[in-house]
Amino acid sequence: MDAIVQGFPIFLLIFCRITAFFVVAPVFSSRGVPSTFKIGLGFFISFIVFLTYGIGETVVTDAGYVLVILREIMIGLTMGYVCYLFFSVVQTAGSLMDLQVGFAMANVVDPHTGASAPLLGNFKYMLMLVTFLMMNGHHYMLTGLMDSYQWMPLSNEFYSRIMSGGVSDFLTRTVSNTFLLALQVSAPLVVAMFLTDLGLGFLTKSAPQFNVFVIGIPLKIIIGLFLLVLLMPGLAMLFDKLFSIMFQSLEQLFGVVQGPPEGQ
């Protein structure tokens, strides 16, 4: 009983970080994943981490313990948010594509978030999710979550990094990089649609009798779908690059908060 009383504060800190990660992280935060499963998975992973890491840890259960719990929740949410940002790249790119092709008015409901999502963005997000699960990316994500205790132990300096601006600077750069990636992903189709609009503009000037609205909308849809089919084989390489950048960003987050663990 004394061992349970002494170990429970450490277990609670571990449980808060892991469950907070599941609230935001892709795949695990999906509406299709039951809350009972999330809590149960978080409990068992926390128990494994506690047995391998938390046995020798100590924490003072005074008034400052509440701040330590909030710090662990913030760390878990930040880690999950960094992972989610790179999954939102394809949805942002899909929004830019839909805006040019003409699918922007036909948004669909994303079953993972319950919110309205762009048509092409939702399609690419589903492909990315399937690719992520096929390459066991969720296992690597769980491994990174468990290894975070080597980089960011319970006695981390997250609050001081927030005060110094290191965490906010990292998140700002990560958001800007993901938006830049979304622009790069959507660039081929967006440029093609711009050239199509340019050609339709020349057609309107040279042959005013043509109704550009009747011709342009189906023409842009046909060209957009044709280019999408041409770009499909390169999506696997694109997703692989996004996943590698995502895990590198997680490692950078660990380095920003605490620095590399001893011996690395």
**How many domains is the chain built from?**
1
pLDDT at residue 106, rounded to an integer: 62
Per-residue model confidence as pLDDT tens digits over 186-227: 888 888 888 888 888 888 888 777 777 778 878 888 888 888
Q: Tell me if 263 is assigned to some domain.
A: no
Whether the predicted pLDDT of 261 surpasses 60: no
More confident residue, 50 or 7: 50
pLDDT at residue 116, rounded to an integer: 65
Give the Cα separation of 204 and 224 in Å (integer): 21
Per-residue model confidence as pLDDT tens digits over 151-193: 887 777 788 888 888 888 888 899 999 989 888 888 888 888 8
User: Considering the entire predicted model, what is its pTM?
Assistant: 0.81
- 38 near 87, Cβ under 8 Å? no
Q: Tell me if 223 is assigned to some domain.
A: yes
- Quick one: tokens of 58? 């100590």
The bridge status of strand 116-117 relative to strand 108-109 is: antiparallel
Per-residue model confidence as pLDDT tens digits over 98-132: 777 877 666 666 665 566 666 777 778 888 888 88
* DSSP category for residue 210: S
How much is the mean pLDDT over the chain? 81
Q: Tell me if 264 is assigned to some domain.
A: no
Separation of CA 86 from chain center: 4
Q: Give the residue numbers spanning the domain of 253.
A: 2-257
Mean pLDDT of 27-42: 83
| Confidence tier at 263 by pLDDT (50, 70, 90) | very low
99 by Cβ neighbours in 10 Å (0-12 / 13-18 / 19+) ranks as middle
Q: Tell me if 41 is assigned to some domain.
A: yes
Q: Tell me if 65 is assigned to some domain.
A: yes
How many beta carbons lie within 10 A of that of residue 87, not counting itself?
A: 21
Q: Tell me if 187 is assigned to some domain.
A: yes
